[in-house]
Amino acid sequence: MQYVYSLLVLIGIYVTLSASFNLIIGNGGLISIAHPIFFALGAYTAALLGIHFNVPVLVSIVAGMLVALGSSFALSLPSLRISGDYLLIISIGFQLGFLQVIKNIDFTGGAGGLGNIPSVLSGETRDIVFASGSLLMALGVVLLIRWIVRSPYGRAITAMRDDELAFVTLGRNAMKIKLVIFALGSGFAGLAGGVYAYYFLYLSPDQFEILQSATILTMVVVGGMGSTLGPVVGGVLLLALPQAITFLQLPPNVMGPLQGVIYTLLVLIFLFVRPQGLISAARRQT
């Protein structure tokens, strides 16, 4: 049962991550690969507040979200001022650099990871609370994003992505919109980080490697970029699939490589066969 609960917690976390990343890349058209680092910022902030300052869990998690949200400007402000293309380049540096910092200072536990995160609740109650909490977080984030995307603000985001120059010459401040959606997306990733920290009670820098961004991107692409339900389907599917494969009873010499290449394979298959993802983005209706 423990296994099912932890899978549910992970599903909530990854749906949150992919939905928020979808807001940035799918709706906003902003290409960044630094999503895992905002996930990490939320996780480490929440954990450290709990370990060193005995801050209550919920407060720590919210603080983690705010730190991720706030630090997104350090990446978005300088790069978006020049041009959207620089966001990708600077995000690579941001992702790699920040992870090096986490790996090399004692305060964050270094490369060995951060343990001693205070545990709240115990037994099955803990699993149930975290599983439902994590799923509720995902639901809340998905609904909020859906609401934003369908609102007049979402209309502005779509117009900006369609033709930024025409959009700006209508009097719209595209820079501000980009900063805001990048901050919101990063904040949600930080929120997921806090939940992750307090459920698994151990953080290792490896969990926030650049490869995580490939995982999240796969979820977005397979689910359907720019559609609100896409990342939900993508997240659930891609977390369940590797688990499902283990039940196939394939020989280990097939299983190992298969699990290794499954994400890459899926991205390639989807880009060829169904580039809009499982759920295609809805056309905007008035």
Residue ranges binding another protein (CB under 8 A): 148, 151-153, 155-156, 158-159, 162-163, 165-174, 176-177, 180, 184, 283-286
Closest CB to another protein among 88 and 156? 156
Closest CB to another protein among 49 and 148? 148
Closest CB to another protein among 249 and 286? 286
Closest CB to another protein among 124 and 163? 163
Closest CB to another protein among 126 and 172? 172
Give the shortest CB-78-to-another protein separation in angstroms: 18
Give the shortest CB-125-to-another protein separation in angstroms: 34
Max Cα-Cα span within the chain: 61
Give the shortest CB-216-to-another protein separation in angstroms: 23
Give the shortest CB-25-to-another protein separation in angstroms: 16
Give the shortest CB-182-to-another protein separation in angstroms: 12
Closest CB to another protein among 174 and 233? 174
CA of residue 75 relative to chain centroid, distance: 16
Task: Name the token pair of 167.
Answer: 């959009």
Contact predicate 33/88, CB 8 Å: yes
Task: Name the token pair of 285.
Answer: 């209706």
Closest CB to another protein among 136 and 168? 168
Closest CB to another protein among 29 and 190? 29
- What does the alpha-carbon distance between residue 31 and residue 9 come to, in Å, rounded to a whole number? 27
Give the shortest CB-222-to-another protein separation in angstroms: 21
- What does the alpha-carbon distance between residue 195 and residue 192 come to, in Å, rounded to a whole number? 5
Give the shortest CB-143-to-another protein separation in angstroms: 13
- What does the alpha-carbon distance between residue 184 and residue 237 come to, in Å, rounded to a whole number? 25
Give the shortest CB-68-to-another protein separation in angstroms: 17
